[in-house]
Chain A
Amino acid sequence: MKIGSKYTYLFFILPAILWVIAFTVYPFFFSMYISLTNMNLTRPGIYKLVGLDNYIELFKDDQFWLSFRHTAVFTISVITFQFLFGFFLALLLNRPMKGTSLVRTAVMLPWVLPPVALGLNWQWILRGGQLGLINAVLLQFFRIKPVDWLGFERALLSVISVTVWIGVPFSFMLELSGLQKIPNSLFEAADVDGASAIQKLFHIIIPMMKSTFMINLIMITISTIGYFDIIYALTDGGPNRATEVLPLLMYHRAFKFGNLGEGASVAMVMLLLSLICTFIYLLMFRRKEAEF
């Protein structure tokens, strides 16, 4: 192939294509294949195709539906709060103020720190009894009795809160960049017309940021459905399965129970969920765009 021929571009994108095939396409099809087998870690190399048996077993399993419910609550809560807090912070820190750069850097910190280290720190902060940091502060200053933040009733709420805290910087960064792309002339015209801040928000900012919102929502959804590290470090799905979401179920089935087939079928369900959510977002935003 000569440099400058119409196929030259193939040469340049070939490494990227090979990368995607090796680390995305092949693992995807291999996972799908594993989900149709009885592959088990304790029988290396000895397995057979079992059709949809893993899926049928999974859908009959109460633990799967419990994890499914936890994933739904976890995902919806994280998406809602991460998105709204990120947007609120972006609006707040978009205007030039003294110390804005410092605050922006501070806001980004949770996102750049290693999740497992954060999980272990939060475990110490949220510990029950009087030795947990929050409980010690509540008792010392407000005489509030120690709360079991990682106990059965509150563990999912605690895990959601920590995940939101870690994810907000990502949404903030994305939404701030979206805000900064809005031409100033629109705001100036709105000022001339005497528009209030609320009117600017609903008639300029939100319509102009629809594509940013869509990207943000899709990325939060995909990452939240597959969220593992913080929950693993904080509770490992406990106590009494109170925080066992689908990624943890997948991990437990595949690597603790050795059942790779069942683990892979959970992964396929997670993939399907992500695709459905993405499709809904695309549909929703396309319709809104048409309205706009």
Chain B
Amino acid sequence: MGKKLSVDKNGDGVIDTYALGIPGSKDGVTSCTLLPWFWGHKGAELSDGQKVIFGEGNNKEAMVDMLEFLRKLVDENIVSPDMASLKFTDVEANFIGGACAMAILGSWHYASIKENGGEDFIKNVAIAPIPAVPGNDPVTTAGGWTIAMFTKDPAKQDAAWKFMEFFAGHDVQKALTVKAAQMTTLKEIYDEPELKDDAVMQTFKEGLFGGKTRDAVPFYSAMDEQFQNLIQIAVTSKDDLNQAVERAAAEAQKIADSMK
């Protein structure tokens, strides 16, 4: 299917449209986009929120499988060979510009594709949950950003908390979902009149049940950097992925230990 969607339209030997666009640049969005494949393989990156385990046993197998699959997508011209330098905004531009037939992006891209591509373009766009590994449940990244409060002033703490309650509350979440396609985790919002007949929003709701947040540990961004590097290694080199995953896990553990 993927191979059929990659097309050289004018027969000049250059693929004009790749089947799938995936961001692969050094960016948190890259790992957010691809970690669901790892989690969908029942892979876990941390145990007890402290020990890095993505380089061990089944977790390593899940990570290597995901990376090998990515490598195969690029090798077989299903994904463009410049994936490692594509940011998520590039993938969106490629999708609108016809350089990829499908794209794995965040829910909010639906709103920007609508805005940048126009009404006629969006009429031909459909969305689907990220396919699951056969036998496993689909997983999607649902946030996982950590918000910290450093002030010791109770008045400011109270004000900050009130703001968070307001921000995470029904009205703001509904506005973000309706206007910006920011997939809210308040599931009752999807059943409201504006959204209940909207196929796109109902697909987001479907994805919500496989939502997974990333671990809230101080070294997560450093570990995330290791994932981004692994993805880039998979699509730009022929390096042994087993060894690369072991090295990345050891490096992440070293960083975690340095923060203790």
Residues of chain A at the chain B interface (Cβ within 8 Å): 38, 40, 42-43, 127-131, 139, 143, 145-146, 148, 150-152, 155, 235-242, 252, 256-259, 262
With beta carbons under 8 angstroms apart, the residue of A155, A242, A258, A262 that contacts B219 is A258
B100: nearest residue on chain A (CB-CB)? A129
Listed A/B pairs (26) with beta-carbon separation below 8 Å: A128-B82, A128-B86, A129-B82, A129-B99, A130-B99, A131-B93, A145-B13, A145-B14, A146-B82, A148-B81, A148-B85, A151-B81, A151-B84, A151-B85, A235-B25, A235-B85, A236-B26, A237-B26, A238-B229, A239-B85, A239-B232, A240-B232, A240-B233, A257-B219, A259-B255, A262-B258
CA distance A144 to B26 in the complex (A): 28
Residues of chain B at the chain A interface (Cβ within 8 Å): 12-14, 16, 24-27, 80-82, 84-86, 90, 93-94, 97, 99, 218-219, 221-222, 225, 228-229, 232-233, 235-237, 255, 258-259
Q: For A130, list chain B residues within 8 Å (CB).
A: 14, 16, 99
CA distance A13 to B218 in the complex (A): 46
Q: When A and B form their complex, which 10 residue pairs have the shortest distance between CB atoms, in order from nearest? A: A128-B82, A239-B84, A152-B236, A150-B85, A238-B26, A240-B232, A148-B82, A42-B218, A257-B222, A42-B259
CA distance A151 to B25 in the complex (A): 10
- Smallest beta-carbon distance A237→chain B, Å: 7
In the complex, the answer to whether B14 meets A238 with C-beta atoms within 8 Å is no
B25: nearest residue on chain A (CB-CB)? A238
B12: nearest residue on chain A (CB-CB)? A143
In the complex, the answer to whether A139 meets B97 with C-beta atoms within 8 Å is no
In the complex, the answer to whether B94 meets A131 with C-beta atoms within 8 Å is yes
- Smallest beta-carbon distance A182→chain B, Å: 46
- Smallest beta-carbon distance B239→chain A, Å: 8
Q: For A150, list chain B residues within 8 Å (CB).
A: 82, 85
Q: Could you list 6 further interchain pairs (A-B, Cβ under 8 angstroms) beyond the known A129-B80, A257-B225? A: A148-B81, A150-B82, A151-B81, A152-B237, A238-B25, A238-B229
**Contact A131 B219, CB 8 Å, known A238-B84, A257-B255, A257-B258:** no
With beta carbons under 8 angstroms apart, the residue of A235, A239, A256 that contacts B225 is A256
- Smallest beta-carbon distance B99→chain A, Å: 5
A145: nearest residue on chain B (CB-CB)? B14
- Smallest beta-carbon distance A230→chain B, Å: 15
- Smallest beta-carbon distance B241→chain A, Å: 12
**Contact A235 B14, CB 8 Å, known A148-B82, A150-B82, A151-B81:** no
CA distance A143 to B14 in the complex (A): 10
**Contact A38 B232, CB 8 Å, known A239-B84, A258-B218:** no
Q: For B94, list chain A residues within 8 Å (CB).
A: 129, 131
- Smallest beta-carbon distance B259→chain A, Å: 4
- Smallest beta-carbon distance A154→chain B, Å: 10
**Contact A127 B90, CB 8 Å, known A152-B236, A256-B222, A256-B225:** yes
In the complex, the answer to whether A252 meets B225 with C-beta atoms within 8 Å is yes
In the complex, the answer to whether B82 meets A127 with C-beta atoms within 8 Å is yes
Q: For A146, list chain B residues within 8 Å (CB).
A: 14, 82
